[in-house]
Amino acid sequence: MPHDINLIATIAIGLALAFVFGFLALRLRLPPLVGYLVAGVAVGPFSPGYVADSGLAGQLAEIGVMLLMFGVGLHFSVADLMAVRKIAIPGAVAQIVAATAIGAVMAMGWGWSLGSGLVLGLSLSVASTVVLLKALEDRNAVETTNGRIAIGWLIVEDLAMVLALVLLPALAEALGGQAGAGAQGPSDQGLLLTLGITLAKVTTFIVIAVVIGPRVLPWLLRQVARTGSRELFTLATLAIALGIAFSSAKLFGVSFALGAFFAGMVLNESDLSHKAATNVLPLQDAFAVLFFVSVGMLFDPSIVIRQPFMVVGVALLVLVGKSLVALGIVWMLGFPLSTALIVSASLAQIGEFSFILGALGVTHGLLTKEGLNLILAAALISITLNQLVFSGVDRLIAFIKKRPALKRPCEEARNERYAQLEGELTDAHHRAQEKAAAHKTFTPEELLARFPLFAGLTAEQREVLILHFRPATAEPGKRLIRAGDEADLAYFISSGEVEVAVGSRRIKLGPGDYFGEMAIISGHPRSADVTALDYSQFATLSQRDFRQFLRRYPSIRNQIAAIAAERGEMNRQFLEEMATEDAAV
């Protein structure tokens, strides 16, 4: 294969095979993920035939992880996490500690060093976000209480892993590995210093992300939305996701994954986040597939024959060990058995973070290639069996619920904590919805339904137009426009009623009408007072956006200009009538 088409070949063959095997996997009622992994094994160095460039595949996989974490950040709800914190934090921490300890003891039993054992255990302790979200989506359970507990738990695990990824290189030497190329010999002071510098860099990064990010990024996206180009908007979203991930890794030494996660989280608060998420989704899907393919490429299937006991050991740790720990913790916290079972099933698998951590362990001499291979074997087995685990759990729950002798102590007697948490989650959800409603303007369909004025626009034009609208509300009696003032906004009424006062004359406007256009078009001061009569909602356009909007859609401009002229004429006549009446008096 000529060197210069390596990238094309890797992407094309990787995606094509992933599609074929993913499709086959679905046919066999397995998750498509299994197919992608098998596709990876097929193009990997450990199977005959074509061998894809594993370096390139690794980089493509890294893009997949960045986009994935960006997506997680975009959907990450701090409120949800806070609501489930009492179960998610102790659960995740205890599960990581227990799984790491079991893994380390098992590995030391095989004669591995403590450092290797810890890396193996830690890698086996964290479940995969991709696998979990896909499993919950398939079961329509993302929004359920149990689903949210599992997601919150996983986010805590992810955050702990991010910390582990940052600390591992700093601690590598102390654990018996190497800090990296050209590193000096270990010294306690050196270790503390490295740790301190690492933590300082991460903190600086987080402070910048949390303080400056929310001011700059949503503003930037809004500017781009103003241009009216959908393409540029998608590009901006991608540039933010990948650009921040890359530069934060270069500048602050944090992982690509953490950088991308924060980029997503910062945008999460913006009212444009939904659109940003929809735009990058297809790319995120494609690169996530390449991620699994590249993982499959690293896997040497012969390990199953060479080290069957080790493979069974790690698989059991992930499938049984972790599940029992999770089950015990959830039970001890007073939740029903069904919650404990579902959370355990959700977390009885490993994925992306395990590979990343394992690979980092190999780089720092803490894990052998064989160790990484074991992690891959555990991932392949646990991801493949995850659906089975879920259906087993479903059967068990149904079995328990049918038997009063079991149902009472396992479910009903323990419903209090569950109901309390459910209440907190519902509250958090309502608050989030209220907040979203305050930011929300319309969907293109709503826009059309409420404003016949926009009927002539294409679907895409409507989609772009709503990006410019800022929502506004008013209570009865609120003066929105004062005659003689300078123009700032144009208002489109989506609900409620307002009154225009020209002299002593009153004109009522309702949903679908608009006002505030005359002064913007003419450049003169406001021609009348406008006051809300009812609780009203508006979509507003700034002077600049309104002018640009008129320029872009000449047919709408003509309609609006004609009505403005009519209104002006009406007011002139009316004021003249008033003047004659006054003169007569």
Binding site for ligand CMP (CB under 6 A): 481, 487, 500, 502, 507, 515-519, 526-528, 530, 567, 570-571
Q: Are 415 and 409 in contact (CB under 8 A)?
A: no
Q: Are 385 and 319 in contact (CB under 8 A)?
A: yes
CB of 481 to ligand CMP, least distance (A): 5
CB of 151 to ligand CMP, least distance (A): 48
Q: Residue 182, by phi and psi: left (phi above 0), alpha (psi -120 to 50) or beta?
A: left
Residue with Cβ nearer ligand CMP (435 or 506): 506
Find all residues with CB under 8 Å of 559, minimum gap 6, and list them. 453
What is the separation of C-alpha 110 from the centre of its chain, rounded to a whole number of angstroms?
40
Residue with Cβ nearer ligand CMP (95 or 571): 571
CB of 573 to ligand CMP, least distance (A): 10
Q: Are 228 and 281 in contact (CB under 8 A)?
A: no
Count Cβ neighbours within 10 Å for each residue of 302-329 and write b for 16 or more, e otherwise.
ebbeebeebbebbbebbbebbbebbbbb
Residue with Cβ nearer ligand CMP (85 or 508): 508
Residue with Cβ nearer ligand CMP (70 or 491): 491
The residue with its CB nearest to ligand CMP is 519
CB of 547 to ligand CMP, least distance (A): 13
CB of 544 to ligand CMP, least distance (A): 15
Residue with Cβ nearer ligand CMP (209 or 490): 490
For 109-177, the DSSP string reads HTT--HHHHHHHHHHHH---HHHHHHHHHHTT-TTSHHHHHHHHHHHHHHHHHHHHHHHHHHHTTTTTS
Q: Are 450 and 478 in contact (CB under 8 A)?
A: no
Closest CA to 158 of 131, 118, 187: 131
CB of 552 to ligand CMP, least distance (A): 20
Residue with Cβ nearer ligand CMP (443 or 573): 573
Exposure on the CB side of residue 153, measured as CA atoms within 13 A: 33
Residue with Cβ nearer ligand CMP (384 or 543): 543
Residue with Cβ nearer ligand CMP (411 or 488): 488
Give me 64's structure tokens.
Answer: 């997949």
CB of 571 to ligand CMP, least distance (A): 5
Rounded distance, CA 327 to CA 341, Å? 6
Rounded distance, CA 180 to CA 226, Å? 47
CB of 447 to ligand CMP, least distance (A): 19
- Neighbouring C-beta atoms of residue 1, cutoff 10 Å: 12
CB of 562 to ligand CMP, least distance (A): 13
Residue with Cβ nearer ligand CMP (84 or 500): 500
